[in-house]
A and B are shown apart, each in its own frame.
Chain A
Amino acid sequence: MNTNETAVMDPDSVANGAVPEEADHKKELGTDFETVGAVRVSNPRMTTSGVNVFYGDKHAIKNVNLDIAENEVIAMIGPSGCGKSTYLRCLNRMNDTIDACRVTGEIKLDGQDIYDKKLDVVPLRARVGMVFQKPNPFPKSIYDNIAYGPRIHGLTANRADLDELVETSLRKAGLWDEVKDYLDQPGTGLSGGQQQRLCIARTIAVSPEVILMDEPCSALDPIATAKIEELIDELRENFTIAIVTHSMQQAARVSQRTAYFHLGNLVEVGETTQIFTNPEHKLTEDYITGRFG
């Protein structure tokens, strides 16, 4: 027997030909699994109902129901491959860019179905912005990185308004004081942490309603991470934020609610304090205490 396997084996049973029991965390929960905790909120900004995602034949997200409340930070945690990033990308239809990907169910933003065939995805992705794991500033100046979105969306009437919008966005992202004298310098010349804040500024420049963050700090050093986390806390006043993270300490620090995904199922969702002090489901307990992951 491979001693690295987590299967439980009783020598007597094996001798009698019994099949070893699969470890709990490798067992699929199925599409009829009911999420533990309150998936619905009284003031949702986004609602998802019966969401399933398929990559070809692979059933990646299984019947997920979850509300995201207005002006909250909700963290999505779970082991690698559990579907949290796939679910996140459903919220602004980024999965449309993947040919083999098929999404079913209902996802609404302020009561409007975002998968309605009449809906234009470009303005949707302005309303539901995204920040990625690896900072990806445009190969443009710092100023133009911020100004690009408002220009193409026609959000400002003149140069003065655009200047003000750029400054406001950079201030909100906590970057203004560091770059105000170098706005014409390339965005790619900034440090990793600054680039990520530039990407956040770029996202908020088009006045989104929801900001999706897919492991925004995983490529950053601890100080840059701390600045981003501080920023997330400030942004919550004006935006709704959904963040995928592998760091449970980060999820505990920045979020009000936490959702735990496991093999495509949403196992449990609840107040972050409750999830990290007294989770209800055994799988959640095992994952956050490091019994597997």
Chain B
Amino acid sequence: MAANDKPHTFSRFDGDLGEFRQLVLDMGQLACEQTLLGARAVNNCDTGLAHEVRSNFRHVRDIDMDLLESNVRLLAIHHPVASDLRFMMMFSRTAYDLERINREALKLADLAELHAESKTTRQYCELFDDVMTMGAAAGDLLARSMKAVAEGNIDAGIEVINAQEHIERISQGALRRLATYIMQDPRTIQWVIDATSALKGLERIADHAVSIAMNLIFACSGKDIRHANVLNLNDEFLKSPTCT
């Protein structure tokens, strides 16, 4: 869906752009699943879930390769400009963010498999509780971001950007709790480090979700807000209609 919903004079362009868009949305849906699966795999030290993340990783990677091919073809053949160009850029950058999310999920799967093999992990499983909380929050943020992209909804995109604070609060709270484990029992340090690593990975997934929302705002408005003051976004954009 471009900002201009009238059909292009070359119907093939609309078809190609539509396919490109759908690939990105499919990739986004998979990335959301990967986020939750990865967090759950770590939380439960579950190799089955880790295996599923690994299998999906390859699928997401294949979509990413199809996207690159589609992107190059669209640019070479159709020379898009204005809103078409901005939306193509948005989808391309979103695909990059989703590919990074996929890699973070894979790291979570690696962590889950590592701890599943360790017999002593079970007594420290509670250290990974916050990973599931963070995973749910990051997954939800990503889902909202992708929904905003699918609908061309600037307001929803701004809400995603504003939700960064919530993610930061969850992260900081989790890190404080993990610190108490080390103070109580220094033998937990390895698991605390791993839990922290998982939390940081999920925080990066949330950052990518915010990046996707920023790409959406660029596509709809032509304004690059990556380095803008978040507080000002509300005044400038909340009155804006959707892209269509």
What's the interface size class on B, roughly? 10 to 19
How far is it, in angstroms, between the C-alpha of A292 and the C-alpha of B84 when the chains are bound? 14
Q: Please choose the segment from A32-40, A143-151, A174-182, A275-283 that sits at the chain B interface, where 4 or more of its residues have CB less than 8 A away.
A: A275-283
Question: Which residues of B in the span 185-234 have a Cβ within 8 Å of any Cβ on A?
Answer: 222
B77 interfacial contact with A, CB 8 Å: no
Closest-by-CB residue of B relative to A252 is B81
Q: Determine which of A249, A286, A291, A293 lies in contact with B79 in the assembled complex, contact meaning CB atoms within 8 Å.
A: A249
Cβ contact within 8 Å between A290 and B86? no
Nearest CB of chain A from residue B127's CB, rounded to whole Å: 49
What 0/1 pattern do residues 70 to 107 of B give for CB contact below 8 A with A?
Answer: 00000000011111111000000000000000000000
A242 interfacial contact with B, CB 8 Å: no
Cβ contact within 8 Å between B86 and A291? no
Given A278-B222, A285-B4, is A290 in contact with B9 using a C-beta cutoff of 8 Å?
yes
Q: Give every chain B residue within 8 A of A279 (Cβ-Cβ).
A: 82
Interface size in chain A (residues, C-beta < 8 A): 15
Q: Give every chain A residue within 8 A of B169 (Cβ-Cβ).
A: none
Given A277-B86, A277-B222, A278-B86, is A288 in contact with B81 using a C-beta cutoff of 8 Å?
yes
How far is it, in angstroms, between the C-alpha of A128 and the C-alpha of B48 when the chains are bound? 78
Q: Determine which of B6, B10, B13, B80 lies in contact with A286 in the assembled complex, contact meaning CB atoms within 8 Å.
A: B6
B239 interfacial contact with A, CB 8 Å: no
Closest-by-CB residue of B relative to A291 is B6
Nearest CB of chain A from residue B39's CB, rounded to whole Å: 39
Cβ contact within 8 Å between B9 and A292? yes
Q: Give every chain B residue within 8 A of A155 (Cβ-Cβ).
A: none
Q: Give every chain B residue within 8 A of A286 (Cβ-Cβ).
A: 4, 6
A289 interfacial contact with B, CB 8 Å: yes
Cβ contact within 8 Å between B81 and A277? yes
Question: Which residues of B in the span 1-38 have a Cβ within 8 Å of any Cβ on A?
Answer: 2-4, 6-10, 13
How far is it, in angstroms, between the C-alpha of A252 and the C-alpha of B10 when the chains are bound? 20
A248 interfacial contact with B, CB 8 Å: yes
Q: Give every chain B residue within 8 A of A277 (Cβ-Cβ).
A: 81-82, 85-86, 222
Q: Give every chain B residue within 8 A of A252 (Cβ-Cβ).
A: 81
Q: Give every chain A residue within 8 A of B86 (Cβ-Cβ).
A: 277-278
Q: Give every chain A residue within 8 A of B82 (Cβ-Cβ).
A: 276-279, 285, 288-289
Q: Give every chain B residue within 8 A of A293 (Cβ-Cβ).
A: 9
Nearest CB of chain B from residue A75's CB, rounded to whole Å: 13
Closest-by-CB residue of A relative to B7 is A291
Closest-by-CB residue of B relative to A24 is B6
Cβ contact within 8 Å between A289 and B79? no
How far is it, in angstroms, between the C-alpha of A278 and the C-alpha of B219 when the chains are bound? 10
Q: Give every chain A residue within 8 A of B2 (Cβ-Cβ).
A: 289
Q: Give every chain A residue within 8 A of B81 (Cβ-Cβ).
A: 248, 252, 276-277, 288-289
Closest-by-CB residue of A relative to B84 is A289
Q: Give every chain A residue within 8 A of B222 (Cβ-Cβ).
A: 277-278
Nearest CB of chain A from residue B15's CB, rounded to whole Å: 13
Cβ contact within 8 Å between B9 and A291? yes
Q: Give every chain B residue within 8 A of A248 (Cβ-Cβ).
A: 79, 81
Closest-by-CB residue of B relative to A280 is B222
**Max count, chain B CB within 10 A of own CB: residue among A252, A276, A278:** A278
Other A-B contacts than A277-B85, A286-B4, A291-B7, 20 sampled, CB-CB below 8 A, are: A248-B79, A248-B81, A276-B82, A276-B85, A277-B82, A277-B222, A278-B86, A279-B82, A286-B6, A289-B4, A289-B81, A289-B83, A289-B84, A290-B8, A290-B10, A290-B13, A291-B4, A291-B8, A292-B6, A292-B9
Q: What 10 A-B pairs come out closest when comparing CB atoms? A: A278-B222, A291-B6, A276-B81, A290-B9, A290-B8, A289-B84, A288-B81, A289-B82, A285-B82, A288-B82
Question: B residues bordering A, Cβ < 8 Å?
Answer: 2-4, 6-10, 13, 79-86, 222
